[in-house]
Amino acid sequence: MSNGNAGGGLRRFYLIFAIVALVGIGSLGYAVGSKVLGGAVTEPVILEGTDDLRRLTELAVPVVSGEEDAPVTIIVFGDFLCGHCATFSLRIRPLVEAEFVETGQAKLAFYDFPLNPETGTFLAARAARCAGDQGKYWEYHDHLYRTQYTWAMERDKLGFFQSYAEDLDLDSGEFRGCLNSDRHAPEVSANRELAHALGLGGTPSVLVGSGGGMNRRLADYSFETIQAAVHALLGR
């Protein structure tokens, strides 16, 4: 075998090697780049038609606890990094659930209102909804409120929210896939837009209403205030 043939063989090898390397590196670059461009959505997305309040109320999707045909609806707009929202969710909501939701007198509709989305509250709202896809919205929701001072300080919020999913025995692969995407970003964005459109300046904002009538915003989120408002709507 001549040296020329040997050199030619080596050159062919280097050519094939370079092609494989380039294709592989290109694919890796695409995988990393697509995460940067299309990974976990952490801030509100732009929605069409939100200038129209009717359209906005269609786009906004609350998470509802209770019977769909309950006569009264208690609406709560909350932010996962708001201390008063944690108080409402962990202390007041159980009372509301016990007295009105479980008895079928009212249903509770929770709308996300991430006040400062860049602080992780938008991602938290999406994470809770990802947990909801696996039937554990309220468990995750409460977990976020119980630990809000922990994850607020965490830089790797994606990893932290993922660990919460594992704490709640969720399918971690499915949860990661949901969180590392734009899933639920439109609903959370629309809920936030709706809060702004309604002129709600803070959280938690509680409104009550019945049967298609106007919802009335309550002065505070105490159980007594909610109880009085619901009783009034029920004609007591």
Partner 1 sequence: MTEAAGGGSAQQPPMNRMVVAVLALLGLLVSLYMLAHAMGLTGEVICGLGDCETVQNSRFAWVGPVPTAAVGTVGYLALMALAILGLQPSIQGSRIVPLGLLLGGVIGVAFSAYLTYLEAFVIHAWCQWCVASALLILLAFLASLPELRRIGGSP
- The residue type of 190 is A
Q: Is 22 in the site for partner 1 (CB under 8 A)?
A: no
Among 39, 71, 186, 209, binds partner 1 (CB under 8 A): 39
Q: What DSSP assignment string belongs to 138-159?
A: HHHHHHHHHTHHHHTT-S-HHH
Among 58, 166, 167, 169, binds partner 1 (CB under 8 A): 166
Q: Is 9 in the site for partner 1 (CB under 8 A)?
A: yes
Give the Cα separation of 116 and 127 in Å (integer).
16
φ and ψ of 205, to 5 deg:
-110, 125
- Which CB, 84 or 183, lies closer to partner 1? 183
C-beta of 80: minimal distance to partner 1 in Å?
Answer: 22
- Which CB, 10 or 168, lies closer to partner 1? 10
Q: What DSSP assignment string belongs to 163-213?
A: HHHHHTT--HHHHHHHHTTTTTHHHHHHHHHHHHHTT--SSSEEEEEETTS
Q: Is 177 in the site for partner 1 (CB under 8 A)?
A: yes
Structure tokens at 174: 């499915």
Give me the residues that bind partner 1 (CB under 8 A), please: 1-3, 5-6, 9-10, 13, 16-17, 20-21, 24-25, 27-28, 31-32, 34-35, 38-40, 156, 158-159, 162, 166, 172-174, 176-177, 180-181
